[in-house]
């Protein structure tokens, strides 16, 4: 289960980075050119949340996946926090369903690992 959490966390974090790049980039484009694009696109309601989660959630997922074999409890929490952050900031849609599902499942598997953590 720890190996599955490792793989799911790292892949989910990499997909989360792709979503994060586009989300962060969208907010920056709208800040710079929002007046020129009015009627075509609009700024998101909470720019700080989108930009913060775009940076932090993929890092938490990759870090959680990387430590899934040695510290499964911490890894599980990091992966679940990453999945919850992505769901809260971006919603569950066609672009976010795989990173959210991978991080969430990786977190559950890491928490369900039977071996005690090495100290």
The predicted pLDDT at position 69 comes to 93
E strand map for the chain: none
User: In what helix (H) or strand (E) does residue 1 lie, and over which residues does it extend?
Assistant: none
Mean of all residue pLDDT scores within the chain: 94
Distance CA 117, CA 77 (A): 14
Residue 94's pLDDT band, with cuts at 50, 70 and 90, is: very high
117 within domain boundaries: no
Q: Is 82 inside any structural domain? A: yes
What pLDDT sits at residue 35?
77
CB burial class (10 A; 0-12, 13-18, 19+) of residue 93? exposed
Domain span at residue 102 reads: 2-112
For residue 119, is it within any domain?
no
- The count of domains in the chain is 1
Is 100 within the bounds of a domain? yes
Q: What is the pLDDT of residues 16-49, one digit of tens each?
A: 999 999 999 999 999 998 878 878 888 889 999 9
pLDDT digits (tens, 9 = 90+) for 96-119: 999 999 999 999 999 999 777 666
pTM of the model: 0.91
Confidence of residue 58 (pLDDT cuts 50, 70, 90): very high
Do residues 65 and 75 touch, judged by C-beta distance below 8 A? yes
Does residue 61 have a pLDDT over 90? yes
């Amino acid at each position: 289960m720890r190996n599955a959490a490792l793989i799911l966390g790292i892949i989910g974090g990499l997909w989360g980075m792709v979503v994060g790049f586009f989300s962060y980039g969208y907010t920056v484009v709208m800040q710079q050119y929002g007046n020129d694009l009015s009627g075509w696109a609009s700024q998101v309601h909470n720019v700080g949340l989108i930009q913060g989660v775009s940076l932090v959630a993929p890092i938490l997922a990759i870090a959680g996946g990387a430590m899934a074999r040695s510290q499964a409890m911490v890894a599980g929490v990091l992966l679940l926090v990453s999945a919850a952050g992505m769901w809260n900031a971006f919603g569950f849609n066609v672009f976010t369903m795989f990173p959210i599902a991978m991080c969430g499942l990786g977190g559950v598997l890491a928490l369900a690992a039977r071996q005690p953590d090495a100290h």
